[in-house]
Structures are given as structure tokens and as C-alpha cells.
A and B are shown apart, each in its own frame.
Chain A
Amino acid sequence: MIVVGIDVGGKNAHIVVLKDGNIVAKGEAATGIQKAEAVETLYDEMLNKTGFNREDVTRVVATGSAGKRVAFADGVIADAVAGARGVNRLIPSARTVIDVGAEEGSAIKVSPEGKVLDFAVNEKCAAGTGTFVETMARALEITVEEMATISLQSNSSIPMNAQCAVFGESEVVSLIHQKIEKQDIAKAVHDAVAGRIASVARIIGLEADVVVIGGMAKNSGFIDSLTRETAMDVIVPDDPDFIGALGAAESAALGV
């Protein structure tokens, strides 16, 4: 049986193709504004790569903030459900899933079976999201990847006063003017995002094992900040930005 999971977020789409429960292909694409078109292209690319036709696919399940825009999906599931299921497949001991993407951050309490017991989400505000980090990277004139690397070299701890990404940008600019090292600013930015997302997670309570997924999980600087902020070990699975799509594909296999 061939099933497909597709996760369409604020910025990127991820797709996972499962054949008899095994991952046979995965891909990602920036979706931009024309999300519906972008996901069609991504889907066709995946099928070309695997040699399958649309008819060979038993079921497609979509998820993510723009999951409803996927015209070829047979079903749509909530991000939290997809995240919980995807994490459960890889790390069954996970009890808390922290999912931080480009435009939202959420915390999910997960049962040993991968069911969602509770969740909390921030989708109203860019504070505590990947967009916040990107905005600050732009102000620092470095890439997000460089920012992650240099923030790990910082030994100082300067607080950011701004929660809002718009105000944060001015604050970063004024920190640059005060000749604060870029690495220290980078750390402050990651600390700020980690602080925001940790406060979302505390609404549901942080229980080990804590697993972080979503695009921000690839940012080692942020993971370091989150570890300090929560005072817990946090686990990052391989390809953490594909977990939602994986969970959606798993759901498709279950016939959801």
C-alpha cells in the first residue's frame, strides 16, 4: 500500500511517501503565497521520483496550517495529531512534543500510543516562531544557519526586552550599535524564542521525554536555549521538519 502525507506550513511544504510502512521518498519546497500550486508541483515531483502514478496512491492525508489548501488530499488532520503520530513512530517514549515552525509554535502532550492528550498553541504572534529568528538574522545580516552556529560560541547572557518581532528588530539594531557581539545577540534571540515557546509548553506541563520537531528544531542554537530554558534534555529526531508529514502519512495508512 502506498500512502502520502503532506504538511503545508507557513513557509514550507514537506511530503513523505510510505510504501508498506517504509519511507520511500520525501521532499520539501518553499510554498510562498501560491501554496496550492506549489504543493501540486511538489506532489508531482515526488511521484516522478518514485515512478508511482496518482492512481497507485491509496490515500493522501494533509496537515499543517495550510493543509486545507491541498486539493488532492483525501483527508486533513490537525497539526498536533500529525506531530504526535509522527513522533510516536520514531520515539515512542515521547510525552511532550514541541513543534516550532515558521509561523506557529505548539506543545503537545502525547500518550504512549501517540494520541494527543492536550495541546497549547501560539499562532497569533510571531514571537516564539521561526519568523522571529529569520527577522533577527536579517537585521544581523547573517543567515539563520550562521546565527545558530555563532550563538553556541557566546558565553554571555543578555536579555531581549522585546517580545514582538517588529520591536525585536529595532532592539537588535540598537544592540549592534552598542557594539554587542553578534554571537551574544544571536544567543539572546534564541533565548527569547525558547522563552516564549517554553511558556506555551508550561500551559500543558513539560513531561519527559521532550521531543522538538518543526523547522526550528534544526537550529542548534535554539535547541541549546530551549534546553537551558526548560532545564530538561530535549530530543531532536532526524529530519525534524518532516515529522508532521510523516505523521500525516501514518494516518493515511491507518485510513484516517
Chain B
Amino acid sequence: MAEGAQKEYWRWPEGTWVNPDIDWQKGTIITAGVDVGSVSSQGVVVVDGELYSFGNTRTGFDSPDSARKAMDRALAETDLTLGNIDYCIGTGYGRVNVPMAQRTITEIACHARGANFMYGPEVRTVMDMGGQDCKAINCDDKGKVLNFMMNDKCAAGTGRGMEVFADLIRVPVWEIGPRSFQIEKEPPTISSTCVVFAKSEVMGLLEQGVPENDIIAAYCAAMAHRIMGLLNHLGVHEKFVITGGIAKNEGVVKRLEEALGIKTAEQVWYKAEYQDCPFDTQIAGAVGAALFAEAMVSKGKVKSVRKA
């Protein structure tokens, strides 16, 4: 493509991590979760219910390939192979296309379960802000879903919407959050709900000479406002956490907190022994899937498919 050399402002950093404290060969049950979302895919490996490794990557055009890529990333820095895994569960938008998975579970259940593990049992509301949809989930102390609401019809308030905006304003997506606070005062929000219309509104503002950071702030505020509608409908309860890619954007998160009058929980592992592990809000779904797999194998509900 002729535009190949053009900078890709939407491109966020991909990640990999392996737990140095775990020797998988000493583990009894090794399970995996693969979350193939519309924008990103994650693979997570759990050894006896403890996080062993994960990989986070961008989803390509082909779901099975994206699932393999995510799992490859999770396994890349380990000597573990797919054959060593007892059971694997697929989740996310592309969950039916996860070749290494024996079963699928919806991403709503997985995000609630994953958030429970990552942020602790006090979590009651999980807002999963994914690439192409957002879901507000209320759950109990076991991470079991009590109720949820989702928007999957409209890009406003989704990661994809933020990527489109980043490309338009030519600012890398991870700089959007910090730059949205480099302003003199909070500007009026973008009035268009629709991302496509917001695009023309943003062009107009740029033309008028409105500072870039003000426009970034206005867009973050518009997105926070959009998400708030969903949360108010469902009811938000503390501990309130955000999972998914937008959780990494403080420009949206802080404005959402302000509008709701509720703080989100700090992005740190509930279990102190993980303090050196990077906290990646995008892996919650895959973590949940891997934990469900672990529970099923350990309770004897499913048979291990382990080959080696």
C-alpha cells in the first residue's frame, strides 16, 4: 500500500510477560485462555491457578491466526508448548475461531472472572472497554456475572473510536491521555456522538485553530460521557474497575471518574506476589478464560487434553 510508510498513530505497544517465580514443570494443572477481540488478542497461561505468562497482540484479519499469534507470544519466552497444556478456553468476539481451544466462554463472564483475579474479590462493577464494544458488568465476590449491559452497535466509546481519533489528530494513541490534561481549562466536549461526525467536527476545530490538546481533551470528555450513559443504566458499585484498552487512557478514565463521582480501583495486582508483573488491563478476558479452564480441570468437569 502506498500509505505504508505513513505513521500509524493508532498502533499501541504489544506486550509479553513470563512469571519468573513459577516452574511450570512442577505444576499439576496447566491451562490457557485465549481472548480474540476485534482489535486485540491475548493469550494467558495459568499454572495451578497462578498466572504464568501472557502475550498481548493486535488482531489481524484472520481470527485463528490472531489466536495463534497471541498464544505464541505467551509461550515465546518459555519452554512450554501447546502440548503441555491441559485445557484451553477461547473467549472474545473471535472465540469460535480459536484453534487450540477445547471450549468457548463469553467474554462477559471471562472479564468479570479475570477482573476478580486481577483486582480482587471486592470488585462489583467491571467496565470492559474493548475495541469494538463496551460492556458494563455487575458481579459478585466470586467474579460471577450478576447483570450486564453492552453497546456493540456504535463505535463511540470504544477503542476503535479512539484509534480513529488518534489517526485523525496524528497523535500516538498512548499520548492521548497525558496530553488531554495539558490544557488551560476544560474545553466544551465534542457534540457529535458518532465517531464519523466527530471526525468532521474535529477537522473544523483544527481549522479554527483550537489547540490540539484542547481537542484531545474534548474528545476524551465526549467518550467518558458516552460510557457514563451505559454505566448509569446498569448502576455502578465500588469497587469499580475498567478492563480493556481504554483503561490505559487516563484522559477518559479520570473524566469518567469525575462525572460518575466514583473512583476506579488502582491498577495493581490484588495478590502481592505479582507486584513485579506488568498490569495489563487488556488481558482480563484471557485471564478469566484460563481460570475457568483451571476450575473445570481441577473439579474433573472436563478431561485434560495434555499430550506431553
Report A's interface with B, CB cutoff 8 A.
10, 33-34, 103, 124-126, 131-132, 135, 163-167, 170, 173-174, 177
Contacts and interface: CB of A to CB of B under 8 A. Distances in A.
A124 B194 contact: yes
A166 B153 contact: no
A170 B200 CA distance: 20
B3 to A, nearest CB: 12
A103 B164 contact: no
Interface stretch (B80-88, B109-117, B154-162, B215-223): B154-162
Interface of B: 38, 61-62, 132, 153-155, 160-161, 164, 192-197, 200, 203-204, 207
Contact of A177 (B61, B132, B155): B61
A27 B38 CA distance: 44
Contact of A33 (B38, B164, B204): B204
Nearest to B206: A33
Most buried by B among A34, A124, A164, A170: A164
B150 to A, nearest CB: 14
Contacts of A174: 61
Contact of A125 (B154, B160, B200, B204): B154
Contacts of B161: 166
Contacts of B61: 173-174, 177
Contacts of B204: 33
21 contacts: A103-B197, A103-B200, A125-B194, A126-B194, A126-B197, A131-B197, A132-B196, A163-B153, A163-B154, A164-B153, A164-B194, A165-B194, A166-B161, A166-B164, A166-B195, A167-B132, A167-B160, A170-B38, A170-B160, A173-B61, A177-B61
B134 to A, nearest CB: 13
B155 A164 contact: yes
A165 B132 contact: no
